[in-house]
Structure 1
Amino acid sequence: MTKLSVNINKIATLRNSRGGDVPNVLQFAKDVQRFGAEGVTIHPRPDERHIRYQDARDLKSGVYTEYNIEGNPIDSFVDLVLNVKPTQVTLVPDAVDAITSNAGWDTIKHKDFLVDVIKEFKQNGIRTSIFVDPVLEQIEGAKATGTDRIELYTEAFAHQYSLGNEGGIMPYVKSAELANNLELGINAGHDLSLDNIAFFKNNIPALLEVSIGHALVAESLYLGVENVIQMYLSKLKVQS
Structure 2
Amino acid sequence: MSTKLSVNINKIATLRNSRGGNNPDVVKAAVDVQHFGADGVTVHPRPDERHIRYNDVREIKKIITTEFNIEGNCSEQKFVDLVLETRPHQVTLVPDVLGQLTSDHGWNTITHKDYLTDMIQVFKNAGIRVSIFVDPDPEMVIGAAATGTDRIELYTEQYARQFADGQQKQAIAPYVAAAEKARELGIGLNAGHDLDLHNLAYFAQNIPWLDEVSIGHALITDALYYGLQNTVQLYKRLLVPAPKY
Matched to 2:80, the amino acid is V
CA offsets, 1:104-141, max 9 Å, x none? 00011111110111001001000000000001110000
Instruction: Give the SS at the match of 2:214.
Output: strand
Q: Could you say which residue in structure 1 is the equivalent of 2:56?
A: 55
- Given candidates 171, 175, 178, the residue that maps to 1:172 is 175
Q: CA deviation digits over 1:64-113, x for unaligned, max 9?
A: 10000000002111110000000000000011111000000001111111
Residue 4 (structure 1) aligns with: 5
- Regions of 4+ moved over 4 Å: none
The alpha-carbon deviation at position 22 of structure 1 amounts to 0.4
Identical positions, percent: 60
What residue is the counterpart of 1:214 in the other structure? 217
Query: Aligned residue for 2:147?
Result: 145
Query: Match for 2:40: what amino acid?
Result: G
Contact persistence 2:208–2:241 (CA under 8 A): no
Q: Which residue of 2 aligns with 1:69?
A: 70
Instruction: State how far apart, in whole Å, the 2-side matches of 1:115 and 1:205 are.
Output: 28
Displacement after TM superposition at 1:217 (Å):
0.4
- Residue in 1 that maps onto 2:192: 189
Structure 2 unaligned regions, length at least 5: none
How far 1:239 moved relative to its partner? 2.0
CA contact (8 A) 1:176 1:205 kept: no
Cα separation, 1, equivalents of 2:162 and 2:63: 37
Give secondary structure in 2 for the equivalent of 1:68: strand
Measure the CA separation in 2 of the matches of 1:97 and 1:129: 22
TM-score of the aligned structures, taking structure 2 as reference length: 0.97
Contact persistence 2:39–2:67 (CA under 8 A): yes
Query: Following TM superposition, by how much is the alpha carbon of 1:61 offset from its aligned partner in structure 2, in angstroms?
Result: 1.0
Q: Which amino acid aligns with 1:236?
A: L
The aligned counterpart of 2:231 is 228
The answer to whether the 8 Å contact 1:150/1:184 transfers is: yes
CA RMSD of aligned residues (A): 0.8
Partner of 1:201: 204
Name the counterpart of 1:98. 100
Letter aligned with residue 119 of structure 1? Q
The separation in 1 between residues aligned to 2:230 and 2:212, in whole angstroms, is 20
Q: How many residues align?
A: 240
**Aligned AA (2:87):** K
